[in-house]
Amino acid sequence: MSSATPIVSLDTPKSTRQIFARHDDLDSASSASKQDTQRISSAIVYCEANFGDIDGKTANGLIRRSEKYQILSVIDSEKAGLDTGMVLDNKANGIPVCGDLADALAHAETTPDFFIFGMAPSSGMLSKRERALVLEAMSYGMNIVNGLHEFLNDDPVFAAACHAGNVEILDVRKPRAKKDLRLFSGRISEVTCPVIAVLGTDCAIGKRTTANIIADALNETGIKTVMIGTGQTGLIQGARYGVALDAVPSQFCAGELEATIVEAFEFEDPDVIIVEGQGSLSHPAFSSSSFILRGSCPNGVVLQHAPRRSKRCDFENMAMPTPASEINLIETFSDTKIIGLTINHEQMSDLEVSAAIIRYEQELGIPVTDALTRSPERLVDMVLAAFPDLKGGLAAIA
């Protein structure tokens, strides 16, 4: 991701200002942030019985990467006492798993600025117990970050709690007003840098993590890269450009993504744009991948696959597709090319990952790597092999 923080003024196009305002307003809402604008907002993340698992992907993502919040702890009574880094990646990071809200507050030196709901249940709604817990957090003076499909600002009970506690709720998935939604216009053709989408063979398979690692690796190499978030977790992590596609009316999904990419291109002047994927094009339960392909018109696609998954996530009666079949579907559906495959190493040893990399490279004839366990240089090489003109920029820097 670009290291430069955009400066948004009244001269900035209105649609661009709306994006930044929508995802950054709670930072200024916090009284602590008002007093010290240089201090990153503190937060605890709720992920009861799901941290480290698929439905805990928001909490998992925030532990691995958070530009917007200092994560103090994760709440999950089943893993209380463990280090969050050890749970996710077998590398300690000093951020503990706490048993409950009281434990998390006791661990924090002061009341955290934010309480983040860190799960992504298929229902997209709060349970009665979770409603009570969020209200309790608000009573302590914590702002709420809500990534669910249930918009808490529309609930009279939560609206009253905001007023009573002088706090705010950020409904991350809530789209802009219908009158402001954008249709596909064809302006994506004005984006002259490579646009790379990171798609997958299943949901919750690591697309966002891989997309962030690719963006970071390219930036560190000197290739200016901007990341486009397309889901609630990426936006909560701090993506400067993005839209939660699964909450946008389908007629506007391609247009909203296209407009966001065009804005990022015009504002940042990047060498590469990385677009976070959602779901899977072959998965009948999700449609976001099709909108991402239509709205971003990517020049290339990196495909993420978990070799050890035999069944679809949350759909035990659906077999996983092969990378070859997903590649064929993507390249048939969209005028693009698969530039590489990345491995999700869940339930795999390092030797098994190495064997999978060799096997898929031979089978598919494209570069293959594991973004988390292999050198990020392999991801840079993957991109440069597909877009060799980028090497010219590196030569100029050198």
User: What pLDDT, on the 0 to 100 scale, is given for residue 394?
Assistant: 75
C-alpha to C-alpha distance for 266 and 193, rounded to whole angstroms: 11
Query: Is the separation of the CB atoms in 214 and 196 below 8 Å?
Result: yes
DSSP state of 174: P
C-alpha to C-alpha distance for 333 and 348, rounded to whole angstroms: 31
Asked whether residue 10 carries a pLDDT value surpassing 60, the answer given is no
User: What pLDDT, on the 0 to 100 scale, is given for residue 39?
Assistant: 67
Q: Which residue has the tokens 């290339």?
A: 300
C-alpha to C-alpha distance for 108 and 82, rounded to whole angstroms: 16
Find, among 30, 148, 136, the residue nearest to 75 by Cα: 136
CA separation (Å) from 146 to 45, 152, 168, 327, 361?
11, 8, 11, 34, 40
Number of CB atoms found within 10 A of residue 362's CB: 9
Token pair listed for 209:
């993590």
> Please, what is the end-to-end C-alpha distance for the chain in angstroms?
21
Q: Per this entry, what is the length of the chain? A: 398
Asked whether residue 102 carries a pLDDT value surpassing 70, the answer given is yes
Sequential DSSP letters for 21-73: HHHHHHHHHSHHHHH-TTSPEEEEEE-TTTTTSGGGHHHHHHHH--SSEEEEE
pTM: 0.86
User: What pLDDT, on the 0 to 100 scale, is given for residue 21?
Assistant: 36
Asked whether residue 81 carries a pLDDT value surpassing 60, the answer given is yes
Number of CB atoms found within 10 A of residue 28's CB: 13
CA separation (Å) from 288 to 116, 147, 170, 236?
24, 17, 22, 19
Average confidence (pLDDT) over 140-161: 96
3-state secondary structure of 369: strand
Token pair listed for 127:
């349970």
Find, among 167, 179, 200, the residue nearest to 275 by Cα: 200
Query: Is the separation of the CB atoms in 194 and 387 below 8 Å?
Result: yes
Query: Is the separation of the CB atoms in 374 and 340 below 8 Å?
Result: no
User: What pLDDT, on the 0 to 100 scale, is given for residue 19?
Assistant: 35
Determine what percent of the chain is predicted with pLDDT higher than 70.
89
Token pair listed for 226:
């901007």
Asked whether residue 20 carries a pLDDT value surpassing 50, the answer given is no
The answer to whether the Cα torsion of 194, 195, 201, 205 is positive or negative is: positive
User: What pLDDT, on the 0 to 100 scale, is given for residue 396?
Assistant: 66
Confidence of residue 397 (pLDDT cuts 50, 70, 90): low
Asked whether residue 223 carries a pLDDT value surpassing 80, the answer given is yes
Confidence of residue 124 (pLDDT cuts 50, 70, 90): confident
The model's pLDDT over 167-185, given as tens digits with 9 standing for 90+, comes to 999 999 999 999 999 999 9
C-alpha to C-alpha distance for 330 and 347, rounded to whole angstroms: 27
C-alpha to C-alpha distance for 376 and 270, rounded to whole angstroms: 20
User: What pLDDT, on the 0 to 100 scale, is given for residue 279?
Assistant: 94
Determine what percent of the chain is predicted with pLDDT higher than 90.
84
Domains (ranges, CATH) in the chain? 14-171 (3.40.50.720), 180-397 (3.40.50.300)
Pairing outcome for strands 143-146 and 69-75: unpaired
